[in-house]
Structure 1
């Protein structure tokens, strides 16, 4: 996305001078007025407003070695760039913190937890990243390990035609605005920052964070983020410049790039978790190939579990891409004024939707305006539509919003979902109308966990694949499971001898069990699975034989060690997984554990790990500070405790 520098940088919104009180009428008048007021000679070019021939070659030239991040010390690897001195991992649910530290010790790795998620950034000695990944990527107690790759914004050459707001009536935004303009919804823009002084954005900006410099300065260092923000939510009907899709929505700038506009998987993951922990429900990421990162997918699922949706650009390579297809994000392709896929828009099975991406009139750094195009803008246009939908029905569950977005899209290309347009070109009016008249909501009168007004009554199916019944186990034991559902599984729990030792909320569901937390002899394992509608199922019990070395102590006066792994101090929202680890100089099997929230016992058990699920959505859980306490007691009666203060966001 590069601005056409020959364009006059100011273009007032004539609709504000019209007296008709209907926004739809004013904006429709504006679109006609814009063409009639001197742009008629350019109108015939609109239907072919795609980049010139060989444009994709010029776009790819932007990503030459001359434009790589100077401070990246990056290395070419399979056509990608990765950051030196760090990798990303996700341990299996239930893996004790000390066990994770031991796994990383041989690589001199030091883990840093990303917010309230289960993702970790691991700092390593530089130039050891590839060797560490080769060992860790297939480790039986890690879900994944990946390099922290750099990725470019989805840029295209400058548009040769004069800009106009054709895309807004194309997706029926004016009709949607009669119902919703996005008020009360915040859109997180994960990008190069946003020009917070721009006249068309300034009053919509809320506090964000700079994950590159680790400070609160979110000014735009590259120019891309301001253009993306304007496409999503530039102020509508204010006598200035342009209109965004969701003109009354708030914008949260999250800077995840360096000065050259390149982002990293770690920056994107941190940004998504940070926004989700603050209750943000819409996020936009306009970078190339975002779905290919396991870390980014996990962070997007974390936001989805918190009630949000993540929209990403489909890419501008002009060819079929094998980026990972996922339900954690909404990848968007670009269309032109005739509802044709642009020649430079990437395609493949990962594409979920399409939206206008040619000649998009948007805000630019330095209080300017200009013509931009690329899937970088198809994506925030879609994010803006989601904001309209969420504002039209604030109680509707995010997955219901997503389904309505897909079902109301204008089907293009092959009937049904296809690799070029996904479910079709987004239709703001139809999508907003569909949710505004719906009665589906996020909570029922009983306020039960994950309760939904839904017709889904089919329970999941779940079974333990390993260990096998009758197996002898010791130390850390990988527990592999198979869990399926007709709609979606949102949580699985591993129970050992009637104690919940671990909870996993992201697929592929898998556990690590510290068998030292169980006494030698028979142990009974079972897994519980929960779907989005609250239906539950429990696997057949698997009986194993625990055989760990034991050490007898003459006198035990040392209290057990205990720590709260999750949550960490900070903001939480929605469903919170509380995870506790304990150890003792005697046997961990003799430890009694208990978890309290604000002094009230929530769960108790025995062993080295304990985990529970706390739903903060019901009305009796107030917004503000809450204290989580974990207490451990060994066989000799020695006790210890740990506390964490967290802030519930409603």
Structure 2
């Protein structure tokens, strides 16, 4: 009995507040005690309920119920539980915002079989539904395991941005038609780090595999003379190396991105504003989408979230480390979650700030909350992690504007659902880098006669200028643009409008 009353609390609140007419539009699944379905369904019909679907094999039925009928179920000993009949939507392929932003959708990758991109990262899920049919090879690196597995998830996400397939499933990459050649070098172990010597060895393996473009969504604060020399020599042999500028949000250099022979990539958001975490240095050369980037992760490892309040769906992101599951209840305002929230059977709405996400979720749990919705205190979606803290309720993040909208819906029925998936949103200059590497390969495939320096120069010249006019330390020369670069080379040839090559970087290029 107590379980039935608890599960009905949220639904009754919505029905009684909104009135019978509004409640009649809500559809619920009623689970009956064994053998009690036929008689109880008759009673519900007599009370104004409308049978939508009978599930006889499950002793259940879907009903459109008015408030009075819904209330009566709380005292019905022949009913096990009542739940909102959750809506399901067709799943289809999504084009991440970064793909049109870098103009990849405007350039054909039909010629990309003449180009190989080497991804030095944490591996590649060869069984992924959006990656399995690519032209991909790899080389095992000592101590990190097979190149075709990815315990860290990072490399598979990077690979998806470069080459996720246009197959009606998941997402698409910059080169989406399976023509581009990929070579994978796994330098990260499950703990997510490697050595500079391993990076140099990986560079050699990339060259041996015929790679023209190298993607390195990695870096560190210490410079290495051996690395610097190796990348300079590779540039002299025609390789275009591209690396992440760093995620510390300061003006310190990160390596290998800050070697003159490597293109340093900054991260911007969907509004083309530099990310707060993106490092700003004299070596930043190009920018790419790096905030809330949707791409592939190893199969079944992503958290797929859905959130609704008062029958309105909101975009949400499962907090990393959250358990899977579904919960519903009335929405309760728990402020910033700094103390136990009295939310028995309810869903906690909590603002970001002051304490960790995990502590906020724990405050909801202690008060009997069944799920937590954390909303941002700055512009944009909240994409966070619970770290190593174990929680038992599903928790999601939403944007600042959606959180404010939910504050106007307190006391109404809310639901949170988190399940397993194959795609996830990541932030970082690591996510911006494959946009640039993918574009470099795409453009170069149309003009294979051009040198690496000439392709580099074309990408700089045609980048969309952002921030202050001209090159700056936040955006470099600007947002990489595939179609603009292809058109530029078509009009001016490999030598460019000025007749000169590329490769210039640093103070003398400003």
Match of 1:183 among 113, 116, 119: 113
Unaligned regions of 5+ residues in structure 1, if any?
1-162, 442-451, 457-485, 490-650
Q: What secondary structure does 1:203 align onto?
A: coil
For 2:235 and 2:438, locate their aligned partners in 1 and report how far apart those are by CA, in whole Å. Answer: 17
Match of 2:237 among 294, 306, 326: 306
Write the deviation string for residues 438-462 of structure 1: whole angstroms up to 9, x where unpaired. 5438xxxxxxxxxx9x967xxxxxx
For 1:380 and 1:246, locate their aligned partners in 2 and report how far apart those are by CA, in whole Å. Answer: 11
What does residue 292 of structure 1 align with? 223
What does residue 400 of structure 1 align with? 454
Q: What secondary structure does 2:215 align onto?
A: strand
What does residue 261 of structure 1 align with? 192
What does residue 272 of structure 1 align with? 203
What does residue 20 of structure 1 align with? none
Match of 2:141 among 195, 201, 211: 211
Find runs of 4+ consecutive structure 1 residues off by over 4 angstroms. Answer: 214-217, 486-489
What does residue 444 of structure 2 align with? 390
For 2:226 and 2:470, locate their aligned partners in 1 and report how far apart those are by CA, in whole Å. Answer: 30
Write the deviation string for residues 216-260 of structure 1: whole angstroms up to 9, x where unpaired. 64421211110111111111x211211111223122110011221
Structure 1 residues 170 and 276, CA gap change in structure 2 (3 angstroms): same
Match of 2:274 among 341, 362, 378: 341
Report the alpha carbon displacement of residue 205 of structure 1 after superposing the two structures with TM: 4.2
Q: What secondary structure does 1:353 align onto?
A: strand
Unaligned regions of 5+ residues in structure 2, if any?
1-93, 301-421, 505-510
1:227 aligns with 2:157: yes
Aligned 1:11-22 pairs, distance under 5 A: none
Report the alpha carbon displacement of residue 432 of structure 1 after superposing the two structures with TM: 2.3
Q: Is the 8 A contact 1:257 1:267 kept in 2?
A: no
Q: Is the 8 A contact 1:185 1:249 kept in 2?
A: yes
The higher-RCO structure (CA 8 Å, 6+ apart) is: 2
Q: What secondary structure does 1:287 align onto?
A: coil
| Higher share in helix | 2
Structure 1 residues 284 and 290, CA gap change in structure 2 (3 angstroms): farther
For 1:322 and 1:313, locate their aligned partners in 2 and report how far apart those are by CA, in whole Å. Answer: 11
Structure 1 residues 196 and 331, CA gap change in structure 2 (3 angstroms): same
Q: Is the 8 A contact 1:230 1:362 kept in 2?
A: yes
Q: Is the 8 A contact 2:175 2:438 kept in 1?
A: yes
Q: Is the 8 A contact 1:311 1:330 kept in 2?
A: yes
Normalising by structure 1, report the TM-score. 0.41
For 1:220 and 1:256, locate their aligned partners in 2 and report how far apart those are by CA, in whole Å. Answer: 11
Write the deviation string for residues 38-77 of structure 1: whole angstroms up to 9, x where unpaired. xxxxxxxxxxxxxxxxxxxxxxxxxxxxxxxxxxxxxxxx
Match of 2:467 among 393, 406, 413: 413
What does residue 244 of structure 1 align with? 173
Q: Is the 8 A contact 1:357 1:375 kept in 2?
A: yes
Q: Is the 8 A contact 2:457 2:503 kept in 1?
A: no
Write the deviation string for residues 516-566 of structure 1: whole angstroms up to 9, x where unpaired. xxxxxxxxxxxxxxxxxxxxxxxxxxxxxxxxxxxxxxxxxxxxxxxxxxx
Structure 1 residues 436 and 243, CA gap change in structure 2 (3 angstroms): farther
1:355 aligns with 2:288: yes
Structure 1 residues 167 and 215, CA gap change in structure 2 (3 angstroms): closer
Worse overlay, 404-413 or 237-246: 237-246
Report the alpha carbon displacement of residue 184 of structure 1 after superposing the two structures with TM: 2.5
For 1:211 and 1:304, locate their aligned partners in 2 and report how far apart those are by CA, in whole Å. Answer: 23
What does residue 213 of structure 2 align with? 282
Structure 1 residues 396 and 359, CA gap change in structure 2 (3 angstroms): same
Report the alpha carbon displacement of residue 340 of structure 1 after superposing the two structures with TM: 0.7
RMSD: 2.8
Structure 1 residues 291 and 350, CA gap change in structure 2 (3 angstroms): farther
Aligned residue pairs, count? 286
Aligned 1:122-141 pairs, distance under 5 A: none
1:426 aligns with 2:483: no
For 1:413 and 1:419, locate their aligned partners in 2 and report how far apart those are by CA, in whole Å. Answer: 10
Normalising by structure 2, report the TM-score. 0.52
Structure 1 residues 331 and 487, CA gap change in structure 2 (3 angstroms): closer
Q: What secondary structure does 1:207 align onto?
A: strand
For 2:431 and 2:503, locate their aligned partners in 1 and report how far apart those are by CA, in whole Å. Answer: 30
Q: Is the 8 A contact 1:164 1:360 kept in 2?
A: no
Q: Is the 8 A contact 1:180 1:432 kept in 2?
A: no
Report the alpha carbon displacement of residue 306 of structure 1 after superposing the two structures with TM: 2.1
Q: Is the 8 A contact 1:218 1:254 kept in 2?
A: no
For 1:377 and 1:240, locate their aligned partners in 2 and report how far apart those are by CA, in whole Å. Answer: 20
| Higher share in strand | 1
Q: Is the 8 A contact 1:279 1:306 kept in 2?
A: no
Structure 1 residues 431 and 487, CA gap change in structure 2 (3 angstroms): closer
Q: What secondary structure does 2:162 align onto?
A: helix
Q: What secondary structure does 2:467 align onto?
A: coil
Q: Is the 8 A contact 1:276 1:306 kept in 2?
A: no
Q: Is the 8 A contact 1:212 1:258 kept in 2?
A: no
Structure 1 residues 370 and 314, CA gap change in structure 2 (3 angstroms): same
Structure 1 residues 326 and 419, CA gap change in structure 2 (3 angstroms): same
Q: What secondary structure does 2:113 align onto?
A: coil
